Amino acid sequence: MVSRTATLSGNTQTGMEKPVVAAEPAREASVMEAAYAQCEAITKIFAKTFYLGTRLMSEKQKKAVWAIYVWCRRTDDLVDGPRAMMNTQAMKADLVAWESRLYDVWEGRPQDSLDLALLDTKRLYPTLDIEPFLDMIKGMEMDTPGEFGKNRYATWDELYVYCYRVASTVGLMTLPVMGTAEGYTEEEAKAPAIALGIGLQITNILRDVGEDAVRGRIYLPQEDMDKFGVTEQQILNGKMDENYKNLIKHLIARARDYYRQADEGIPMLHPDSRMAVQAAGDIYGMILEKLEANDYDNFRKRAYVSKAEKFLALPKVWAKTQAMPQGRSA
């Protein structure tokens, strides 16, 4: 359910690269700079809104976030490339190999320049935990085609696990990079970071109902569909009625509740990081407004926020973050 596109080149796929040879000391800085530049290029091409948010960060922060994004992109590509579509057994093996490769990075054995950027990010941010990365791999397993994955969710609790693994994990990965305000700890900031990921992924799901139905996937929880009298066949046929609109209204409200929980965590972040995170939540939340403006039709219309609208939202985001206290008083 995460956004699907091809990687920048075939060389970004696991198992395709030659191991990186340690650079001589005199060349180390330029090698690392080139690695981060490659991460920036991939992020800029495939995650335009996300990239816009990183431009609001410090030089050190944005490089780290680019490295983390690229790892997430490559993980996603493992279950959405031609190899995965043609051979789910091979895809499963690729995910196992990718997990092993992640451990290699954590132990200081990068296989290519993109791994090297992630390794350097881990060095710069020692509290970066491997667990969210491992959880994302589990999320990709849930989203795989065929016998290994899931294309239906019976309950909200089931879907929550999926949303956490493919989206909330990103917030946990980047939290050490964002840093916390004086008086707050990373542990306190985790719950709002998780909530933001849940809100973002529900928004993705609501935006993409029609596209997913074409692929035979229905992410809307069956228990919610039953509650509002919406059938699976209705979704697969793209049939709009009042029952369906009420279901979408209910899920929009759920997403906004998670955005509200996420907003409570913005003051916990370091003041320099708040605007980027606030912008991500606010701008993505505008997709829900577009869905409402489309009369809840996510079969034939796409809820889309233009680049101009994103830029126009930034002054309001800036005002919000400037009004926050610098930290928590003792």
**Tokens 């994103």, residue?**
310
Amino acid at 134: L
- pLDDT at position 54: 87
In a domain, 69, yes or no: yes
| Same-domain pairing of 219 and 318 | yes
For the ranges 64-68, 85-89, 241-245, the lowest mean pLDDT is seen at 85-89
DSSP readout, 114-145?
A: HHHHHHHHHHH-TT--SHHHHHHHHHHHHT-S
pLDDT, tens digit, for every residue of 49-85? 788 878 888 899 999 999 999 999 999 988 876 555 5
Residue 284 contacts residue 256 (beta carbons within 8 Å): no
Residue 18 in domain:
no
**Do residues 324 and 182 touch, judged by C-beta distance below 8 A?**
no
Q: Is there a single domain that holds both residue 179 and residue 53?
A: no
Same domain for 312 and 182: yes
Q: Are residues 95 and 233 in the same domain?
A: no
Picking from 128, 161, 176, the residue at the C-terminal end of a domain is 128
Residue 15 scores a pLDDT above 90: no
Q: What is the pLDDT of residues 165-204, one digit of tens each?
A: 999 999 999 999 999 999 999 999 999 999 999 999 999 9
The amino acid present at 193, given as its one-letter code, is A
- Supply the CATH number for residue 182's domain: 1.10.600.10
Kindly report, residue by residue over 150-160, the tens digit of the pLDDT.
789 999 999 99
What lies within 8 Å, CB to CB, of 236 at 6+ separation is: 213, 216, 218
Same domain, 118 and 174: no
CA dist 81 and 13 (Å) reads: 9
Structure tokens at 4: 């699907």
Whether 4 is covered by a domain: the verdict is: no
Is 7 inside a domain boundary? no
Residues 122 and 164 in one domain: no
Inside any domain, residue 208 = yes
Domain boundary among 93, 128, 163: 128
Q: How many domains does the chain have?
A: 2
pLDDT, tens only, 298-310: 999 999 999 899 9
Q: What is the mean pLDDT of residues 237-248?
A: 97
Residue range 111-124, pLDDT digits in tens: 999 999 999 999 99
Same-domain pairing of 287 and 177? yes
CA 312, CA 279: separation in Å to the nearest integer?
11
One domain for residues 96 and 165:
no
Structure tokens at 138: 């589990």
Evaluated on CA atoms 188, 191, 194, 200, the torsion sign reads negative
Does residue 255 share a domain with residue 118? no
159, 76: one domain: no
pTM (global) more than 0.85: yes
Residues 6+ apart with CB under 8 A from 21: none
Show the domain range for 102. Answer: 28-128
Going by C-alpha positions, the residue among 207, 234, 218 that lies closest to residue 293 is 207
Which residues, including other chains, have CB under 8 Å from residue 259's CB and lie 6 or more apart? 195, 196, 199, 281, 285
- What is the distance, to the nearest Å, from the Cα of residue 132 to the centroid of all Cα atoms in its chain? 12
At residue 91 the predicted structure's pLDDT band, cuts being 50, 70 and 90, is confident
pLDDT at 55: 84
Do residues 184 and 252 share a domain?
yes
- Position 145 in a domain: no
